[in-house]
Amino acid sequence: MSAVIEISGLRKTFHTLRQGRRVAVDGFDLLVEAGQVHGFLGPNGSGKTTTLRALLGLVRADGGRMSVLGAESPDRLPEVAGRVGAIVESPQFFGNFTARRTLRLLALAGGVPTSRIDEVLDQVGLRDRSEERVKGYSLGMKQRLAVASALLKQPELLILDEPANGLDPAGIREMRDLVRSLAAAGVTVLLSSHILAEIQLICDHVTIISRGQRVAHGRVDDVLAGFDQHEWQVRVAEPERAVELLGRAGLSVTAHPGHLVVAGVDEPELISRTLGEQGLWVRELIPLRPDLESVFLELTGTTPHLPRQVDGSGTPPAGADDVVIDLDARENREVDA
Ligand SMILES: Nc1ncnc2c1ncn2[C@@H]1O[C@H](COP(=O)(O)OP(=O)(O)OP(=O)(O)O)[C@@H](O)[C@H]1O
């Protein structure tokens, strides 16, 4: 697969009068390949927007190499700008203009045929409302108009910084459907967010940033698999006896209200056989898989605990071949306030 975005060793330090020197991005790497819907995940202030701004030439990097669609950024960015759509800073629209008039203005300014206007309005689901003034739009509709403006030139790559920010659940769902339909149409999408569930629902790949450094990257399934402790939630009629039997069989078991958690077990038969052979029948046996939220919280240090998500499918995640977890960054992390 070809690289659509490559960043290696990106550094950016801001100097402000009040706060002095602030390292926003510190040797950061990112690889986005063609066809991916790539989630760029990190807590507030971890460096996501700075990275995207540097990539797009909106802020000057202090070090590192970047390329977009094979062109070095920022020097050769103009060569590929027509193939990239990006919404990084909150777009401002004229409130008194309709969506159609807004897009017409942008199409004319960008040399895009005006026949594209109806196509992008359809793509973002705004055609029915396109004659209304933008000032009457909801935040979600404004976001969709922003995406429509980025789609005018039929980009191969779409970069969205926090597209779900400020949206209500219905708006988030609309944005999710929109990103999925763009991905299905072959657009490579890089999407920054701190809404973990969103990333898990939309993205196939993820890069996690914490304090300006990459702390994990790879296929979402593989990143999750890297944190899988092979735990099972077990319900039985006599939990105390079950703890004893499982412990005697050398299994790691902890008691929780109403259930037990057995860790480090690949095959659930081991649990049911150990208990069944002593006449203790398992009522429920559920694999506990880590979700992106628990992985993110562990990597970025925002909580010491690993909440678990119950995945009733019982399907083991894919192998962890592609996932890379930067252990140095993990161990050296500081706790976010
Ligand atoms: N123009 C600036 N001047 C000074 N400091 C800045 C500037 N832009 C960003 N920073 C600092 O750089 C760090 C990274 O900020 P950045 O906006 O890139 O984070 P982020 O991950 O996008 O956060 P959020 O999710 O809140 O948007 C923060 O400490 C921020 O205060």
Q: For ligand 1, what atom is nearest to the CA of residue 12?
A: 12
Is omega for the bond preceding 74 within 30 degrees of 0, making it cis?
yes
Structural domains for the chain: 3-224 (3.40.50.300), 231-289 (3.30.70.790)
For tokens 């992008």, the residue is: 120
Q: Specify the pLDDT at position 309.
A: 32
Distance from the Cα of residue 284 to its chain's centroid: 32
Q: Whose CA is nearest to atom 1 of ligand 1?
A: 14
Output the ligand 1 site: residues, CB below 6 A. 14, 16, 22, 24, 42, 44-50, 194
Ligand 1 pocket test, pick from 12, 22, 53, 193 with the greatest ligand atom count within 8 Å of Cβ, gives 22
Contact yes or no for 50/59 (Cβ under 8 A): yes
Q: Specify the pLDDT at position 272.
A: 94
CA distance 262 to 242: 11
Q: Specify the pLDDT at position 229.
A: 83
Q: For ligand 1, what atom is nearest to the CA of residue 52?
A: 18
205-210/213-219 β-pairing: antiparallel
The answer, as to whether pTM is greater than 0.90, is no
Q: Specify the pLDDT at position 85.
A: 92
CA distance 165 to 194: 9
Element (H, E) at 105: helix 99-110
Contact yes or no for 206/31 (Cβ under 8 A): no
Q: Which of 258, 264, 275, 337 is nearest to 301 (CA)?
A: 337
Contact yes or no for 212/46 (Cβ under 8 A): yes
Digitized pLDDT (tens) for each residue of the chain, 337 residues in all: 689 999 999 999 998 888 789 999 999 999 999 999 999 998 888 999 999 999 999 999 999 999 999 999 999 999 999 899 998 867 788 999 999 999 999 999 988 999 999 999 998 889 999 999 999 998 888 888 999 999 999 999 999 988 877 778 887 888 888 899 899 989 999 999 877 788 888 999 999 999 999 999 999 989 888 888 899 999 999 999 999 999 999 999 999 999 999 998 988 999 999 999 999 999 999 998 888 777 878 787 764 333 333 332 333 333 333 344 443 333 333 323 2
Q: Specify the pLDDT at position 302.
A: 61
Q: Specify the pLDDT at position 143.
A: 86
